Amino acid sequence: MAERVIMAEPYPLAFQPNATALLIIDMQRDFLQSGGFGEMLGNDVSLLRSAVAPCQKVLETARAMGLLVIHTREGHRPDLSDAPPTKLSRGRLAVGIGDKGPMGRVLVRGEQGHEIIPELSPFPGEPIIDKSGKGSFYETDLDLMLRNHGIKTLIVCGVTTEVCVHSTVRQANDRGYECVVLSDCVGSYLPEFQRAGLAMITAQGGILGWVSDSSAAISALRSASSVEEN
């Protein structure tokens, strides 16, 4: 399959559609809805909503193009044996990880809050990476899965920009993947961190990767499809 280009900062990124995956990070009720982990930490979770509709459009296009789509979820085993005690005690929260909240036990696998929001529900067969850390490569089989699929480029969406998206992009970058983060498909509870988080990726000639947006990604993917069909 021929190489295509996505308009991005700091410069256009060439990619091969069949070596590209869409990675959607932690679009879970616990981060986007009231009563979850994000809110327990004192955040206004409505600030993440703007990422949902653009993410949906990119997801639809990626599926239509036959791209590998991978979802991640942050969360823990019910016995919390995979959660460092430091993570459990951090924040001195009245209701924290593992405690009962309005959407079940906070950040625990199998609970309602841990689910991916219905707007972005994985299709059957789309891999879901369950991770206990912030970075999606930490103690998961993501790298193996990507290598087995011959993936070289990651289109990255999800939350939050400066935490799990950043940790994942940094880990991916060190493993040799080229990441393009879509600015309108990632979200932060802190607008200044959204700006700074994206700027850190593209600084110094793209030290961590590229930043683009949903429209540029969709037109690059569609151009790939129409050229392949001709």
**Interface positions, 25-64, toward ligand C5J (CB under 6 A):** 26, 31
Instruction: Tell me if 163 contacts ligand C5J by CB under 6 A.
Output: yes
What does the alpha-carbon distance between residue 127 and residue 148 come to, in Å, rounded to a whole number? 13
Give the interface size with ligand C5J as a residue count (CB under 6 A): 8
Q: Are 28 and 115 in contact (CB under 8 A)?
A: yes
Span of 123-131, 139-147, 160-168, 179-187 interacting with ligand C5J by CB under 6 A: 160-168
Instruction: Tell me if 194 contacts ligand C5J by CB under 6 A.
Output: no
Give the residue among 68, 69, 64 at the shortest CA–CA distance from 225: 64
Angle at 62 between CA 59 and CA 64, to 5 degrees: 110
Q: Are 199 and 228 in contact (CB under 8 A)?
A: no
| Cβ 193 to ligand C5J shortest distance, Å | 10
What does the alpha-carbon distance between residue 226 and residue 94 come to, in Å, rounded to a whole number? 54
Does 100 qualify as catalytic in the annotation? no
Between residues 17 and 36, which has the closer beta carbon with respect to ligand C5J? Answer: 36
Q: Which residues are catalytic?
A: 26, 131, 164
Residues at the site binding ligand C5J, with contacts judged by CB under 6 A: 26, 31, 74, 134, 159-160, 163-164
